[in-house]
């Protein structure tokens, strides 16, 4: 009798596990279907077949939704400026890239990764344009804020290489 009871316990335990796995699969499938619907809707709404990523926070109080949406709009604008500036930079259209990066800097929080992207982009553009003081200001900002020793060394080496090439070009 005890053996049968143990088998029933094992059976119910296994069934609970199977139900748990099935519920996870069901939720995952539903989330995937919803995500696919949102992607298709997003692709229809965006111009030039560009897909925008939308972030939703479950349980966000109604009184904070408007602020959140304004913040997301600024973030999207900032990343669009950075992306477009990179494209101009790759096409050696440095002045256009510079203007976009300076605009993106207005939207950037100095403590976030996008500020690093903007400052790094500005350093690239100023270096390519040969603007010594501006390049040094940006590379010094990156060196000062950098926490990673190896990355900091790369910034310092880049700065020194730039200064050496400038001094060599001026004949000093």
The Cβ of residue 77 has, within 10 Å, a number of other Cβ atoms equal to 14
pLDDT at 114: 67
pLDDT digits (tens, 9 = 90+) for 86-137: 999 999 999 999 999 999 998 888 777 768 889 999 999 999 999 999 999 9
pLDDT at 92: 95
Task: State the pTM of this model.
Answer: 0.59
Q: Is the pLDDT reported for residue 48 higher than 50?
A: no
Largest CA distance in the chain: 99
User: Hey, what are 1's tokens?
Assistant: 């009798």
pLDDT at 2: 45
* Residue 131 burial (10 A CB sphere; 0-12, 13-18, 19+): middle
Most confident of 20-24, 64-68, 129-133, 143-147: 129-133
What whole-number percentage of the chain has pLDDT above 70? 60
> Rounded to an integer, what distance in angstroms lies between the CA atom of residue 72 and that of residue 57?
12
Q: Is the pLDDT reported for residue 42 higher than 50?
A: no
pLDDT at 158: 94
Low-confidence winner among 29-43, 63-77, 93-107, 128-142 (lowest mean pLDDT): 29-43
Q: Is the pLDDT reported for residue 5 higher than 60?
A: no
């Amino acid at each position: 009798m005890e053996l049968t009871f143990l088998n029933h316990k094992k059976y119910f335990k296994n069934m609970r596990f199977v139900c748990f796995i099935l519920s996870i699969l069901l939720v995952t499938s539903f989330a995937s279907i919803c995500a696919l619907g949102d992607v298709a809707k997003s692709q229809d709404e965006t111009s030039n077949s560009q897909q925008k990523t939308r972030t939703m926070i479950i349980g966000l109080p109604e009184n904070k939704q408007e602020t959140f949406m304004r913040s997301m709009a600024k973030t999207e604008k900032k990343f669009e400026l950075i992306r477009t500036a990179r494209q101009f930079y790759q096409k050696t259209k440095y002045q256009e890239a510079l203007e976009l990066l300076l605009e993106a800097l207005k939207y950037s929080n100095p403590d976030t990764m996008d500020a690093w992207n903007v400052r790094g982009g500005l350093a690239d553009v100023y270096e390519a344009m040969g603007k010594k003081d501006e390049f040094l200001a940006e590379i010094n900002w990156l060196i000062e804020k950098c926490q990673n020793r190896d990355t900091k060394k790369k910034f310092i080496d880049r700065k020194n290489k730039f200064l050496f090439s400038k001094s060599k070009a001026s004949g000093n």
